[in-house]
Chains A and B, each alone.
Chain A
Amino acid sequence: MASAYVLRETGGNLVRNIVMTVAAVVTMAVSLTALGGVLIMRQAINKATVQWQGGVQLAIFMNPGASGQEIKAIGDELHAMVPQEVQKYWWVDKQKAYAEFKEMFAGEPAFIKVMTVQQMPPSYRVVPAKAQNVPQLAAEFNNQPGVHKVGYPQQAINQMLSHFSTLRTVALVLAAGVMVGAIALIVNTIQLAIFSRRREVAVMKLVGATNWFIRVPFMLEGLAHGLVGAIVAFALTYFSRGTIASFVGNNSLNYGAPLYVSPHEAVMTGVFILVVGMLVGTLGSAFAVRRFLVV
């Protein structure tokens, strides 16, 4: 009985103020889409730079067929450079390389299919003691036996990161600004709903409805605004995740493969958006109820 009543009331409120409801939902959706876009871009970058995390600036890729001796020689040399030239280093074997490869090229399943673990170049990942030593270190290892090539794509990564950082700032400012508008609209919509139902509220108080019973339909209305806005934002970020990722630029690190975000990651972002939307909607309406509903 009580829950049926609450749902009917909430639904009624949403429909009664349809224009305000739409405005609140749309602004909420825009704000959350911007927020979701930032998360999508960051996921894309994390994927593209999976080999270059933890301060790694230099990767010494061995030939897939390099002998144990050749591998050990490079390792010994790196060991001798700690800590003056090399802060730390570690070995990435073929299995791990294959896992990274699958992540980097998750958007190109056909490519993944034709590659095998045995074809993967294992590598040493090097965190240099000083960034300016990188080209010198690279030159030192480049022509050693068993070395396929030495990569130090820091410039490309930095370029991508600075591009991302600009996009992120713009998107977050947009998200925050529009979010303020969305909250204001939710508060205002709930205020209107409270006003248009003041007779009912007066009667409810008169006959002894509990304060929460009076408040809940209004709070659920705010939650619904947030939730519906978030669902729209979820759909937008999910289906345009490729486009959003491409805003960061082409992935010059991985032979120009487009930046990619997996459906699973996009769903995780979507869940986060849903939680934020419901939270903001509920808090906004709670504020309106506290402020405008005297119980």
Chain B
Amino acid sequence: MPTDHALLHLLHLVSPSLPVGMFAYSQGLETAVQQGWIRNAQQAATWINGLLQHHVGQVDLPVLQRLYTAFQQQDVTAVEYWNRYLYACRETQELRAEEIALGRTFARLLRELAVPEAAEWYQRSPPICYASLFALASVHWQIPLNSCLQGYTWSWLENQVAAAVKLVPLGQSEGQTILLQCLPRLPCYVEQALSLTDDEIGANTPALAFASAWHETQYARLFRS
């Protein structure tokens, strides 16, 4: 049986044990719970699926696709353009701080894992986004574009569900049920993202911007966003 190196590398990249510290961020979910918007598993699923389709699917994924192509073509100008674009799309100070912190840790890790280009992107201004490095790593390990986008989405989804389990709180099996409910939709969201033109990039999730901005002054917090 042939070894699928790309798949193994993807599993490595999306593993929650990859030490970039994503588990510390809830991306507004902590405030959504505190506001009473999410009180049970069904509401958690609605929130997560909404953000998945209309935020990740309409901003992260189309930009990730463009970054992937840019790295593939070794087009530094395009990488810088889309990296900056993604950062400028982040709606709140906390979401930007998260991007910077994850990007820096991820860049250091990739440098230590001997991904040669990672060193160049470490400690840059403007900062390198997590998604940009995800594209870089995917190209480096020859993970196909579709798998890269699906893996990124899965990783985001798993992190959100873990945050919901902790915050709502939900039972472990309730969390797994949300994952399984969202799973069959991922390919549709990826397909939808691939069809967007540059002009169509942008999230339709205003409640995330409110929740995340409020989180900046929220009194009791477990998460950093």
B and A form one assembly: no
